[in-house]
Amino acid sequence: MKVIFRPLFLGLFVFSVFFPFLSIIIWSIAAGWRFPDLLPERYSMRGYSIAFDPNGDIVRGVITSTIIALIVGVIATVIGSAAGRAIAMYNFKMKKAFQFLVLAPLIVPGLAVTMGIQILFIKYGLSDTVRGVILAHLIPTVPYVVMIMSGTFANFDRSYEEQGQVLGASRLTVMRKVTLPMVLPGLAVSFLFAFVISWSEYILTLLVGGAAVKTLPMVLFAFLRGSDLTLVGAASIVFMIPPLILLRFTSKHLVGRTSSVTGLGSV
Amino acid sequence: MTNKNITAPTSMFKVKSRASKGKLKERNVIWLVLPTALVLTTLFAGGFIFGILQSLGFFSVIAGDEEKIGFEAYLNAFQNETVRAGIILTFRVAILSTFFSTIIALAISLMISRTKRFQSALIAITQFNIPIPHVVAATGILLTFSQSGIISRLTNHFGITDGSSGFPIVTNDPFGYGIIMSYLWKEVPFLCILILSALRGPVTNLDETAKTLGASYRFRLRKVILPYIFPSILSGTIIVFAFSFGSYEVPYILGQPYPSTVSVVAYQLYTNRDLANRPTAMALATITSVVIGLLVYAYMKLTQQEGRK
Amino acid sequence: MKFKLLRKLLVVMLVATIPGIIATASSSAIGTTTYTSPEWKKILKEAKGQTVNWYMWGGGANINTYVNEYIGAEAKKYGVTLNQVKLNGTAEAVNKVLGEKQAGKNTGGAVDMIWINGENFATGVQAKIWYCDWATKLPNAKYVDWTSSSVNSDFGLPVNGCEAPWATASSGLVYDSKVVPKSAVATLDGFVAWVKANPGKFTYPAPPDFNGSMTVRRLFYYANGGYSNFLGTYDAATFTPAMAKTATFLNSLEPSLWRKGATYPANIGDLEKLYASGEVSAYFNYGALSSFANVQTGLFPTSTRVAAFKEGMIGNISYVTIPYNSPNKAGAQVIANIMQSPAAQMKMQVDGVIGSPAIVMNKTPLSSQYRSLPIHPSSTSPATLAKNANPELTSAWLKAIDAGWIKDVQQK
């Protein structure tokens, strides 16, 4: 009994990870799928031809979302890593207050903050613009990067940097040749989180971009409010692909010996 | 400089070393901190404070309402039936998802860490849902568990249920089952990677030592493993709870028009044609933030006491 | 010598004004004063190179295709770029302009045009955020019957040249003829009886969804024996007993609705998903005349039909309006004019975009072509739906009925 318990439970887990995708995939290639049919009567690629139409909303959504998520990912990773290093390796005045400031966006719903700031965004011409959306996306992403990188830097051995400096290398060279390679796993995971959060963000984009900035979540949400489930299915599949590709490249750093995700474990 | 060989073994010992080295004081730390501080202060703190101000009546849209500064919006929020029902629903959904996702993630992580065969495959599978956007997750749950979803079609085919209306209602339902399922589907993997990472750390050494000293798995679990990974679990639970409480997309797709969770209600109030509802929306958002904050604080205090035992 | 030249000049000038006189004369024959030729030329010149941000409900695939591909292409011929901004609800666009006015942004607004009517239009009128004095002047306005009360008054509120008609939406009952017999859809009485005898197959979206609001409104008329008592300004004394009657009726209907009325679909898209998968078999829809498009893609069953009750269906006209702070008013007017052209209006019906034309097709050169348009079996003629049409009520009634439904039916 005990012998089969673990494989059964784990098997159930694996099944539940993949099962919900089945209905999305089937709907994406269905030409109508009435209840009680187990499978659609007819299949069609209509959903995907609309999805990959270069002039269509989905392609434009992919481009917009990619640009925004890449920029957000880079900015959040850069400034968050600096802050993470500061928290992990230094003591400074107002450190506790700074840590609180960094953690608070994880507690306070993004909706609350964006509703509050909208009037300022309109006044300063940031609403309905891509740069306004990028700024808004920094709010939920930077805290994750700070936490991950503070975990990475907590396990970081300064003596390597010091050795580099002693051997005569400039600060910049030390950073490039010593620090960067050592914290690369952490940076990779940080970028993954920041990118995925920005890529998936809906309500912040809606409030700041105001339907004028057409990211992929906005497009998918609009389809979900319509009646065409085939299109919803195809758009969902397209929506999933870029983040999964990014995961493929960073997955070995997520759970590894030098795992930086432990940083998230020190709220 | 390859880090794989050098960092891996030494990092296990280095965890404590920064404490022995002591934290550094440096003037230049301000440059590390400044960009993040600037971004978060202006956008986050600024937005939050502006929201509170608007909830108190400042910056009113309706001309001539400048005298109406006060807590009226908060009164309106508490008297609003939709808000009250929404708060109850949100609590239920957030607490249940957080509780079950933590337990399930803990169980799975421990099982995976004890499994030798297929371990890397299992870890890869665990990570699979992390980059999936919540909107897609909610769509998947909706299309799978709705009354005309794939499971209903299967049970109908085999005569277990009769027709679409014979299938139990677990999506767009009053209890919030669909919402909870969607949260579980995304949050269990997230918590798993937190816990699995912690399990890979220095605790393995301590565990090995205890094992050689003859301790049973149960004993090691209670006295060595769990206390060690506790901070990660705590941290993950807080993040998951706060997210479940404040999320918009999932309850919108899998919930009902009434009652709906606080974020959905807040957004509806904010975009309502009657502009007098805007301060009420801000009031609700502020109340939500305070509630989550208090709960997190209480949770941390409670578990810190437990940890000291 | 000088006088000869002067006389020639005078004659030339006089002759040059004749086309202008003829133009204004013929347009005032229909009762509107359109832009004079030089005025319109100026607008066309200004519009060249502009990008018009048209904010509209984005949940209709056919509407989106028509707007982006057809209207967009036509606009390009005038050098105007059309940018459709899809909304979850028209209120979002109204809110945006309101927010801009609140922030003091009186020029350079983000919204150039909004597809709108009813309550949303009324909110804007109240807040004074519409650009006016243009809608009746468009060249194609000559095809619009501005004397008709269904055109010059929007849910009871005078249009006053602040919005241009786009489409007529006559609601209809969309149903699956394999499940609902033809005899059950002849009268509303008969349909209600069928619903009670066949539980779980009918429902409506929760107000304030546009179609949900319309269904509740139609059943409000039904429960009160007609609409005649409610045509004037809102009156609480008349409303309260009428709402009570309606709530009693709707609550008695609940056990026969989908999910026994314990919940309602959030919007028309969710309801159509239910229809497409077969969970429900009938619903009311402003866009009933576009259902056939879903049959063509295979989403809806081929047994889909559209019916109008003998007691009449609710219909209205939807418009486009231009916010006061739009920086592209010329381009927006050019597009509004394109939308009102006979070719565009006819294509709208043929492609199953929204409903039927808002212009009088009989007065256009395409009149005979329009009359001989084929009707898809899963659709019906606009005339059928418009027979015995029930009017809309003013915003105050709408708000009250929606709020009454939420309180007395949904929250019970």
Give the span between the Cα atoms of C234 and C239, in whole angstroms.
Answer: 8
Q: With 70 as the cut, is the pLDDT of residue B10 above it?
A: no
Nearest residue in B to C269, CA atom: B253
Where is A31: in which H helix or E strand? none
Give the span between the Cα atoms of B52 and B73, in whole angstroms.
Answer: 11
Q: Tell me whether residues C102 and A119 touch, CB distance under 8 A.
A: yes
Q: Most C CBs within 10 Å: which of B273, B275, B278, B282, as the mutation test of the C interface?
A: B273
Q: With 70 as the cut, is the pLDDT of residue C128 above it?
A: yes
The single-letter code of the amino acid at C300 is: F
Q: Tell me whether residues B165 and C91 touch, CB distance under 8 A.
A: no
* pLDDT tier for residue B306 given thresholds of 50, 70 and 90: low
Residue-wise pLDDT for B42-90, tens only, equals 999 999 998 998 888 887 655 555 566 778 889 888 898 899 999 999 9
Residue-wise pLDDT for C77-94, tens only, equals 999 999 999 888 898 899
Query: Between β-strands C81-87 and C51-57, what pairing exists: parallel, antiparallel or unpaired?
Result: parallel
The answer to whether residue A14 sits within a structural domain is no
Q: Tell me whether residues A231 and C55 touch, CB distance under 8 A.
A: no
- Enumerate the residues of chain B whose CB falls inside 8 A of the CB of residue A117: 43, 46-47, 50-51
Of C259, C270, C411, the CB nearest to B258: C411
User: Does A32 touch chain C if contact means CB atoms closer than 8 Å?
Assistant: yes
- Give Dmax (Cα) for chain B: 78
* Chains touching chain C, criterion 3+ CB pairs below 8 Å: A, B
Q: C401 near C202, Cβ under 8 Å?
A: no
pLDDT cut 90: percent of chain B above it:
48
- Enumerate the residues of chain B whose CB falls inside 8 A of the CB of residue A13: 108, 188
Of residues A117 and C283, more confidently modeled: C283
Q: What is the pLDDT of residue A258?
A: 54
Point out the least confidently predicted range of A226-235, B5-14, C242-251.
B5-14
Taking residues C154-173, report their average pLDDT.
93
Can you give the CATH number for the domain in which B260 is found? 1.10.3720.10
Q: What is the pLDDT of residue C4?
A: 65
Point out the least confidently predicted range of C160-169, C174-183, C380-389.
C380-389
Number of structural domains (chain B) is 1
Q: Tell me whether residues B271 and C95 touch, CB distance under 8 A.
A: yes
Nearest residue in B to C119, CA atom: B273
For chain B, positions 259-278, list CB contacts with chain A under 8 A: 263, 266-267, 270
The answer to whether residue B170 sits within a structural domain is yes
For chain C, positions 278-297, list CB contacts with chain A under 8 A: 278-279, 294, 297
Give the span between the Cα atoms of C16 and B121, in whole angstroms.
Answer: 85
Domain that holds residue B234: 71-308
Give the span between the Cα atoms of A204 and B26, in whole angstroms.
Answer: 37
**How many other C-beta atoms lie within 10 A of the C-beta of residue A162?**
12
* pLDDT tier for residue C22 given thresholds of 50, 70 and 90: very low
Q: With 60 as the cut, is the pLDDT of residue C317 above it?
A: yes
The answer to whether residue B40 sits within a structural domain is no
- Enumerate the residues of chain B whose CB falls inside 8 A of the CB of residue C99: 61
Of C103, C270, C298, the CB nearest to A119: C103
End-to-end CA distance of chain A: 39
Catalogue the long-range contacts made by B176-180 (C-beta closer than 8 Å, 24 or more residues apart): B176/B89, B176/B92, B176/B93, B176/B96, B176/B251, B176/B255, B178/B141, B178/B142, B178/B145, B178/B254, B178/B255, B179/B93, B179/B97, B179/B250, B179/B251, B179/B254, B179/B255, B179/B261, B180/B93, B180/B96, B180/B97, B180/B100
Q: C168 near C382, Cβ under 8 Å?
A: yes
Q: Tell me whether residues C299 and A42 touch, CB distance under 8 A.
A: no
Please, what sign has the CA dihedral across residues C152, C155, C158, C164?
Answer: negative
* pLDDT tier for residue A266 given thresholds of 50, 70 and 90: low
Here the ipTM equals 0.90
Of C59, C60, C87, the CB nearest to A211: C87
Of B148, B257, B258, the CB nearest to C279: B148
The answer to whether residue B220 sits within a structural domain is yes
Q: C251 near C412, Cβ under 8 Å?
A: yes
Taking residues C296-312, report their average pLDDT.
93
Give the torsion through C-alpha atoms of C87, C89, C92, C95, to 10 deg.
Answer: 150
- Enumerate the residues of chain A whose CB falls inside 8 A of the CB of residue C328: none
Q: What is the pLDDT of residue B208?
A: 82
Query: Between β-strands C163-170 and C356-357, what pairing exists: parallel, antiparallel or unpaired?
Result: antiparallel
Taking residues B26-40, report their average pLDDT.
86
Q: Tell me whether residues A221 and C88 touch, CB distance under 8 A.
A: yes
Give the span between the Cα atoms of C322 and C132, in whole angstroms.
Answer: 8
Q: A57 near C59, Cβ under 8 Å?
A: no
User: Does C149 touch chain A if contact means CB atoms closer than 8 Å?
Assistant: no
Of C103, C269, C300, the CB nearest to A123: C103
Q: Rounded to 5 degrees, what are φ and ψ at A217? A: -60, -35
Q: Tell me whether residues B81 and C123 touch, CB distance under 8 A.
A: no
Distance from CA of C291 to the nearest CA of B (A): 21
Residue-wise pLDDT for C233-292, tens only, equals 899 999 999 999 999 999 999 999 999 999 999 999 999 999 998 999 999 999 899 899
The answer to whether residue B201 sits within a structural domain is yes
Give the span between the Cα atoms of A75 and B43, in whole angstroms.
Answer: 15
Distance from CA of B212 to the nearest CA of A (A): 22
Q: With 60 as the cut, is the pLDDT of residue C31 above it?
A: no
Residue-wise pLDDT for C129-152, tens only, equals 999 999 999 999 999 999 988 899
Taking residues C211-232, report their average pLDDT.
94
Can you give the CATH number for the domain in which A225 is found? 1.10.3720.10
Point out the least confidently predicted range of B5-14, B236-245, C306-315.
B5-14
Q: Rounded to 5 degrees, what are φ and ψ at A90? A: -130, 160
User: Does C301 touch chain A if contact means CB atoms closer than 8 Å?
Assistant: yes
Alpha-carbon C68 to chain mean position: 18
Give the span between the Cα atoms of B293 and B280, in whole angstroms.
Answer: 20
Mean pLDDT over the full length of chain C: 89
End-to-end CA distance of chain C: 93
The answer to whether residue A52 sits within a structural domain is no
Q: What is the DSSP string of C55-79?
A: EEE---HHHHHIIIIIIHHHHHTTT
The answer to whether residue A38 sits within a structural domain is no
Residue-wise pLDDT for A22-41, tens only, equals 999 999 999 888 888 999 98
Of C95, C206, C279, the CB nearest to B164: C279
Domain that holds residue A243: 57-261
The answer to whether residue A251 sits within a structural domain is yes
* Residue in B256, B86, B104 with CA at minimum distance from that of residue C205: B256
Point out the least confidently predicted range of A242-251, B41-50, B221-230.
B221-230
Distance from CA of C276 to the nearest CA of A (A): 7
Nearest residue in B to C410, CA atom: B258
Distance from CA of B64 to the nearest CA of A (A): 18
- Enumerate the residues of chain C whose CB falls inside 8 A of the CB of residue A221: 88
Q: Most A CBs within 10 Å: which of B30, B32, B250, as the mutation test of the A interface?
A: B32
pLDDT cut 90: percent of chain A above it:
51
Give the span between the Cα atoms of A124 and A40, in whole angstroms.
Answer: 51
The answer to whether residue B291 sits within a structural domain is yes
Looking at chain C, how many residues does it have? Answer: 412
* pLDDT tier for residue C192 given thresholds of 50, 70 and 90: very high
Point out the least confidently predicted range of A1-15, B79-93, C202-216.
A1-15
Distance from CA of A54 to the nearest CA of B (A): 22
The verdict on whether omega for the bond into residue B259 sits within 30 degrees of 0, i.e. cis, is yes
Q: What is the pLDDT of residue B6?
A: 33
Q: B293 near B245, Cβ under 8 Å?
A: no
Alpha-carbon B106 to chain mean position: 15
CA-angle at C184, arms to B257 and A37, nearest 5°: 60
Instruction: Write the DSSP symbol of residue A36.
Output: T
- Enumerate the residues of chain B whose CB falls inside 8 A of the CB of residue C125: none
Give the span between the Cα atoms of A200 and A193, in whole angstroms.
Answer: 11
Of residues B259 and A172, more confidently modeled: B259
Taking residues C1-24, report their average pLDDT.
54
Give the span between the Cα atoms of C171 and C210, in whole angstroms.
Answer: 11
Q: Tell me whether residues B235 and A35 touch, CB distance under 8 A.
A: no
Residue-wise pLDDT for B142-187, tens only, equals 999 999 999 999 999 999 998 888 899 999 999 999 999 999 999 9
Mean pLDDT over the full length of chain B: 84
Of residues B37 and B299, more confidently modeled: B37
Instruction: Write the DSSP symbol of residue A53.
Output: -
Number of structural domains (chain A) is 1
Q: C266 near C206, Cβ under 8 Å?
A: yes
- Enumerate the residues of chain B whose CB falls inside 8 A of the CB of residue C264: 257
User: Does B17 touch chain C if contact means CB atoms closer than 8 Å?
Assistant: no
Q: Rounded to 5 degrees, what are φ and ψ at B71? A: -95, 20
- Enumerate the residues of chain C whose CB falls inside 8 A of the CB of residue A122: 99-100, 102-103, 105
| Tokens read off for B177 | 């089952």
The answer to whether residue B11 sits within a structural domain is no
Helix, strand, or coil (residue C267): coil
Give the span between the Cα atoms of A36 and B165, in whole angstroms.
Answer: 11
User: Does A34 touch chain C if contact means CB atoms closer than 8 Å?
Assistant: yes
Q: C287 near C379, Cβ under 8 Å?
A: no
The answer to whether residue A157 sits within a structural domain is yes
Q: Tell me whether residues B139 and A236 touch, CB distance under 8 A.
A: yes
Residue-wise pLDDT for C326-347, tens only, equals 999 999 999 999 999 999 999 9
Taking residues C289-303, report their average pLDDT.
91
Helix, strand, or coil (residue C379): coil
The answer to whether residue B23 sits within a structural domain is no
Q: What is the pLDDT of residue A182?
A: 87
The answer to whether residue B16 sits within a structural domain is no
User: Does A112 touch chain B if contact means CB atoms closer than 8 Å?
Assistant: yes
The answer to whether residue A152 sits within a structural domain is yes
Query: What is the pTM (predicted TM-score) of this model?
Result: 0.85
Nearest residue in C to A218, CA atom: C86
**How many other C-beta atoms lie within 10 A of the C-beta of residue B225?**
20
Of residues B238 and B202, more confidently modeled: B238
* pLDDT tier for residue C6 given thresholds of 50, 70 and 90: low
Q: With 80 as the cut, is the pLDDT of residue A179 above it?
A: yes
